Amino acid sequence: MSARPVETPSHPTPLDRGTLDALAHGTHRDPFGVLGRRDDGDGPYIRAVLPGAQGVEAVDARTGDSIGRLMEIENTGVFEGWVKGADPYRLKIAWPGTVQETEDPYSFGLLLGELDLHLLGESRHFELASALGANVMEFDGVAGVRFAVWAPNARRVAVVGDFNSWDKRRHPMRLRHPSGVWELFVPRIGPGERYKFAILGPDGAELPDKADPVAKSAESAPGTASVVAAPTAYEWTDDAWMAARSAKHLPDAPLSFYEVHLGSWMKDGRTVDWNFAIDKLVPYAAQMGFTHIELLPVAEHPFGGSWGYQPLGLFAPTGRYGKPEDFARFVNAAHAAGVGVVVDWVPAHFPTDPHGLYRFDGTPLYEHADPREGFHQDWNTAIYNFGRREVQNFLIASGLHWLEQFHVDGLRVDAVASMLYRDYSRKEGEWVPNHLGGRENLEAIGFLQHFNAVVRERVPGAMTIAEESTAWPGVTRSTTEGGLGFDYKWNMGWMHDTLNYMEQNPIYRSYNHDGITFGLVYAFSEKFVLPLSHDEVVHGKGSLIGKMPGDAWQKFANLRALYGLMWSHPGKKLLFMGGEIAQWSEWNHDAQIDWPALDDPNHAGVQRLIRDLNRIYVSEPSLYRRDCEEAGFRWVIGDDRANSVFAFRRHGADGDPPILVVANMTPVPRHGYRIGVPVAGRWSEIINTDSGLYGGSNVGNGGGLETTPVESHGEAQSLELSLPPLGVVALRAG
């Protein structure tokens, strides 16, 4: 039958009142069942929801000729009308003050392929951001953006943004059963568009508009919209780095992390962004000899005062510092300078901001329903439901996104202890035991093991590092051996014990001697990083130098001795920004490091010491090659409580000259202090924290000593040393 004349004012088969009202109010559950080009037996017609339009005409997509006019039904914003032919068409929409010509989103077929849906259904889609979220693409030869979001319990999901005046009626999405994923292709839009998802919960209640959980870009706070990102087109030039980095991350390699909060590192009168970091931070870290920059979380987060530890955009570098491609340029520049990049990653919990993941589709989708499992009382955040496969897939895909798309060299996983224990920071009756009746979070354990196993398989050479503050066994043991599978673990026990010892007046250190020695009891039970992190210089804890006892001279000497001990102790190194210049003030995330302090020679001396410690650390294999083996460490003097003196040796592989480290933790110089050594001949003094170069008193051993054939400490040869006050010296055989 031929089509009706286009001039006819009559409509195709009338919609029932319920359907019309649902379309008019944006609550229809199956928009593809009623919108787009249709045929009720009398001929083709088109139906569209365009509230606010003053007129709508359908035109042939090739010729631009009119094929029919759509008329509005009862001022509802729903337009329909008979059309000619079955060729591709566009809608010519007269808006107040402008005319828009575009393809009809409801003229396109299914978007996500069977493989995507299969992997999503099995929760094994580790390239999640390529399937869900906003992806710029061509569909049937038309450029636009495919939107997709997981919201299995929603009654309706619509995409809203600047492109449709944030009108939830304009772009309702199609549900793909049984995956729970909603999809829609919006033609003729592209990168830079802001958007969110407008969701009706299962009870029909309208939720606050939700940001995209897998958005690859987001607008800067205080804005909360997601942003359509440009397709990944960054041209990496770090092939040599990526090919060689596995060896740089092994337990027998030197690792020295410079922990940085970019927004408060340096202001310098410029906008703090990734370009600034390329110009300033990368060369500074390289000059200081750090092997890696470790960034506090750079995933998008709504509240700057959380420092990134309450993120909502786990796939999006924060818009505070630029676009995703700018972050990629930063990583590439760091690699070109010989510096790796580690980012802090937070899969433990998330904030409950209404635009975020919390009750995303009107149900506890990402979090536990029971607050005894799903709410973190300390941080007022929601806890991920690690027992849900889709949540595990979401988190693992996030971690892989940073490693694969941005060439990040490692993830430092935050708050692991809070994940491992169901009773973490909870009183009796405030937590739910596991199915065996215990306190272990078996689902979180399984997630961490799965995450680390996938990273090993897909991104060989990348590191995962656990911030885990308890004695949980096997954090760095392989998953095949029943461990959690991390490469390294922060040694929080070493940090607490060492700082507690250093804070003591030297008069009382003899009573706290175990604060230094106890850490060696368990030093090789895991592969450790020694952290002096941001956590130790906030919330009223003061700065590192502020913790040191004594007058100003003694404070600087104590801090230099702390660093001397740390860099010679088994374990990789991490220092938070500002510690390297001994700034007096506590870290303030709204300010910057106290760079003017470097005008004082004492502060400049500490900075010079850190640079030299890093240089010596990476050039002396005995200081790192057996970091994780008992054979790499030997106590020489661990019981001189009366003098607060410690002496130990570090050993590398066969042929590496041993290094003797001696610490005098009192302000009294000690001359003629004899220590046995295993190698006769000259021992060169490679570090002395009391050197005048660092602001010290220059008590030392003149650059080195010859052994004498006097038995001491079970050795036939010995050295007669001068130990500087509150100082650490290290001597190498040869």
User: From CA 581, how far away is CA 588, in angstroms rounded?
Assistant: 15
Place of tokens 């001696």: 662
Between the CA of residue 173 and those of 134, 146, 179, 192, 459, what are the distances in Å? 13, 11, 14, 21, 35
DSSP run (H or E) holding 560: helix 552-568
User: From CA 138, how far away is CA 220, in angstroms rounded?
Assistant: 28
User: From CA 637, how far away is CA 385, in angstroms rounded?
Assistant: 50
178: cis peptide before it, omega within 30°? Answer: yes
User: From CA 364, how far away is CA 72, in angstroms rounded?
Assistant: 39
Q: How many residues does the chain have?
A: 734
User: Where in the sequence numbering do the catalytic residues fall?
Assistant: 414, 467
CA dihedral sign, ordered 585, 591, 595, 600: negative
User: From CA 95, how far away is CA 100, in angstroms rounded?
Assistant: 7
Supply 176's token pair: 């793909």
User: From CA 30, how far away is CA 18, in angstroms rounded?
Assistant: 13
Query: Are 295 and 345 a contacting pair, CB within 8 Å?
Result: no
Reduced to 3 states (helix: H, G, I; strand: E, B; else coil), residue 481 is helix
Identify the CA nearest to 325 among candidates 399, 401, 403, 230.
Answer: 230
Supply 311's token pair: 């993120």
Report the DSSP pairing between strands 142-150 and 133-139: antiparallel
Query: Are 581 and 609 a contacting pair, CB within 8 Å?
Result: no
Query: Are 251 and 527 a contacting pair, CB within 8 Å?
Result: yes
